[in-house]
Structure formats: structure tokens, C-alpha cells
Amino acid sequence: MTVLDDIVVGVREDMEARRHLVGLDELKARAADTAPALDAWAALGGPSASRADLKVIAEIKRRSPSKGDLASIADPAELARQYADGGASVISVLTEERRFNGSLADLDTVRAAVGIPLLRKDFTVEEYQIWEARAHGADLILLIVAALSDAQLQEFSALSHELGMNVLVETHTPEEIERAAAAQARIIGVNVRNLKTLDVDRSLFASLAGSIPPGAVVVAESGVRNADDVAHYASNGAHAILVGEALVSDATPRERISEFKAAGAAAMAVRT
């Protein structure tokens, strides 16, 4: 069993526990009463004319399977406000419980604190989770190609769009990019971390980004340690970066986001 397989088993078990407390009908009613989703596609530079600068998806992340505990994050609302003040375009909130110590309560707290789009970062394997994301104020969800069939990619994307949300479709191989394109994904991430082994290969991004269809927003995921890594991704086709560990482990996340955006903008200017 791969690391990804093991995570998904836990995700399903925890979801079933939540489903016993909140049924799908109740979730749908809550989603209907939630304010309309914000436009994460536009925030990430969806229209190509607005892709002159690198966008940052800043992540609230307490721990990871590869590194263990990263930060306690006693006040996710305050961290989210620092991210927004630093210029983040989207805030990602980990809600997976077992491996990342996240929760839907974190998503609720951050939603009440900031007015920019939120990504519910989790391992989506059932439609229940999509309704759950919307009911808790998410504007964007993650679909990991390696964890889903083609039919699920299509169905989950369609439901997300029906609910007004956008979808970040995560890939790691050329074949997965083809599958994302076939699902008409508009926001495609290249995760340089192999979720089956947790190994990181930053060079992977440059080899894959060029095969992403024109018009899609390209997101570089994982492996950001410093401004040099940001510049590397930006110079090889990234329109946005998703970064968590480098921010939650930094005493000045607001300033770090500004630094990352400046490094990305400089690299993109050279690229164009």
C-alpha cells in the first residue's frame, strides 16, 4: 500500500464519522445558506491578461507525513490575515485530520477572518466532501488525479462548478496531465512531491509544466524553501505557487510572501 492509499483509507473513515453526525441533506441546506463562492480562477490570474505577476496560494498547515510537526498554529485566523496582508491570492486550509492535524473548524475560522478565496486542501474521494467544502465556505477544492478515476474527475469537477467553486487539479506525471486536460481542468497543479513515496524532485516541474494546455493556470506545488525555488518555478512556467512549510515555519510570513512574489515577478519578467 502506498502512502497515498493509506491516507485515503483514513480520510474515508473520518468522513464516515462526520457523515453520521451531519447527513448529506443537511449539508446541502447549509451550502444553500452559505454566501456565494469567491472567484478563485480570477484571483489566480485566470484571464491570461492578468498573469503578469506570480500568485501565491499560502497554506495553513500544522504537520505533514514527511516532516511531522511543523507549527502549532494556535490562531489560524491571525495567520490567515498575515497571509492576506502579505499579498496571498488564495489561502489553502488543510482539513485532513490524521496526517496533517487539520479540521473543518480551521476552515470556518479562516473563512470568518479573510475575504479572499479559500482552498479546502484535502483528499477528495466522494461528493459528500464537495458539499462539505461549500457548506464551510470554500471557494476552491483539490482533486488529486492519482487518487481518482477519470469518471470521478469529471463528476467532481462538474459538481464543484455547479456549486460555484473552482477546482485545482493536481498532477505528478505526463499521463496525469493528459487526464487533467481531458477533464477540461482550468487550474492544473504539478506537485513535485510523489504522494506515493513522499519523495520530492523539484526538477520535475520544468519537465512537466510545458505540457499543460495553454490557457490553464499552472500551479507549482511543494518544494518551496526560498526565493530561489520560487524563481525556478516562475521561470519554468508557473503562474502560481502553493507553499505551506516555508511560511508556517517562518516568524514573518507576511514578509516572506512579499519576498516570494517579488522573486516570482522578476523571473516572469525575464521569461516574457
221 is catalytic: yes
72 is catalytic: no
Contact 57, 92 (CB under 8 A): yes
Q: Which of 221, 236, 245, 261 is catalytic?
A: 221
Q: Which of 92, 97, 101, 121 is catalytic?
A: 121
Q: For residue 112, give the C-alpha cell.
A: 470568518
132 is catalytic: no
Q: State the chain's maximal CA–CA distance in angstroms.
A: 54
Total residues found in the chain within this entry: 272
CA distance 76 to 95: 12
Q: Which of 89, 92, 157, 222 is catalytic?
A: 222
The 8-class DSSP code of residue 99 comes to T
Distance of CA 78 to the CA centre of its chain: 20
Q: Which of 89, 92, 191, 194 is catalytic?
A: 191
Q: Which of 55, 59, 97, 101 is catalytic?
A: 59
Amino acid at 202: R
Q: Which of 96, 97, 132, 170 is catalytic?
A: 170
259 is catalytic: no
59 is catalytic: yes
170 is catalytic: yes
258 is catalytic: no
Q: Where are the beta strands (DSSP E) in the chain?
A: 55-60, 63-64, 68-69, 90-94, 118-121, 140-144, 166-171, 187-191, 217-221, 240-243
Catalytic residues: 59, 61, 121, 170, 191, 221-222
